[in-house]
Amino acid sequence: MKSRILHILSGIFIGAMLCVSFCVIPQATGADWERSLPFTPQQLAIIKQVKLALSTYQVDGDKKDTIDDTKMYYGALKGLVASVGDPYTRFVEPKMLEEENLEMEGEYGGLGIYMTSRDGRTIVIAPIEDTPADRAGIKPLDEIIKVDDKNVLGMDSDEVVKMLRGPAGKPVTLQIRRKDVEKLIPVKMVREIIKIKTVRLEMLGDGIAYIKLNHFNLKTDEELRAALETAFSKKAKGVIMDLRNNPGGLLDVCVDVTSQFIDGGVVVGMKGRFDKANETLYAKEGRANDLPLVVLVNEGSASAAEIFAGAVKDHKRGTIVGAKTFGKGSVQTLFNLPDGSGIYVTIARYHTPSGFVLDHKGLQPDIAVAGEPKKEKKEDAQLQKALGVLRQKIKEKK
């Protein structure tokens, strides 16, 4: 079995992976094999009996594909992994793992929803900007109750992801439960090929560079560098980094992005049970700019987005404006299994440079402003506050 430390800090949101280090876990052979088994001989015999009973007596067991050894095997592995009670520790079948790898390249078929699992519920972290989910009005913290006519309460998150994906052009209807709304909300969408552009630059008045950062994937640092170069060429005087509805992504990319604003010092620390899970990651010196900075966050800002905002806040590099963040503060490792499947295992929780552990808490902004992203900037209360704060910073710098 091989493992790779994921620089991924997102939820079960149609994932993303990057290999950082490889190690081989020794496999027992010969006389060591029986001693290494995680179950007793009696437990293994009972598992075999259960399989035999299903194969022999289940009423539909004679129908094609009802009794399938591979499905049973993967089902057992999913149950084994799920027994630890951590939604981010999960087993992924080979095909699903392939799709998650492809997704990190920035393109896949579906609705554009990042989501996670909490207490058996499927919770939206954030919709991706300009996708079917975004255009249909899906919001952070919405709970998905049904996909078409199928109730997904208590369902494994990977199964929900499979249901949401599909060929471009194929419609799907979700039943959504939203805070402070009494009835379920039906949301009909048509699947598309989702192309994720992680960085979008817009020059606003008064020399303000507005940068919307949607995700931390393999292309993000390069895209951000290009956006900043364009901003400099247009005489930018300050930057608003909009991380609202950004669900996270790759940790090393987050460190690179943070290095564009912080010249050295701690970006994030991790605490776990073994040496490699106890790391402190530092900003790369010589890359930072000195433009006044404001960071926008909300309840859809998670994981790597929270790390970035936390580092900016603790280093007093900029001002955080918006609403309390999602509170996803754990790091996963992917163990690649010989058949192409894999296991994500939570190996550590991360903390900001000041030592604050974000997991299940979220980051409080420096300036709290209620609201949500709006297409019309004048109607966006959080953005308008950020603009006011940044203009004052620019004025003070003169």
Please give the positions annotated as active site.
Answer: 303, 314, 328
Contact between 284 and 262 under an 8 Å Cβ cutoff? The reply is no
Alpha-helix residue ranges (DSSP H) falling in 136-240: 157-164, 220-233
- According to DSSP, the β-strands at 199-204 and 107-110 are unpaired
A 10 A CB-CB count for 278 gives 13
A 10 A CB-CB count for 218 gives 17
Contact between 292 and 397 under an 8 Å Cβ cutoff? The reply is yes
Amino acid present at 108? Y
- According to DSSP, the β-strands at 319-322 and 293-297 are parallel
Contact between 348 and 366 under an 8 Å Cβ cutoff? The reply is no
| Euclidean distance between CA atoms 166 and 191, whole angstroms | 7
Tell the residue number behind the tokens 């990042």, with chain if given.
114
| Euclidean distance between CA atoms 68 and 145, whole angstroms | 29
Contact between 271 and 351 under an 8 Å Cβ cutoff? The reply is yes
A 10 A CB-CB count for 202 gives 14
| Euclidean distance between CA atoms 113 and 360, whole angstroms | 21
The values of phi and psi at residue 212, to 5°, are -90, 120
| Euclidean distance between CA atoms 108 and 345, whole angstroms | 24
Contact between 157 and 87 under an 8 Å Cβ cutoff? The reply is yes
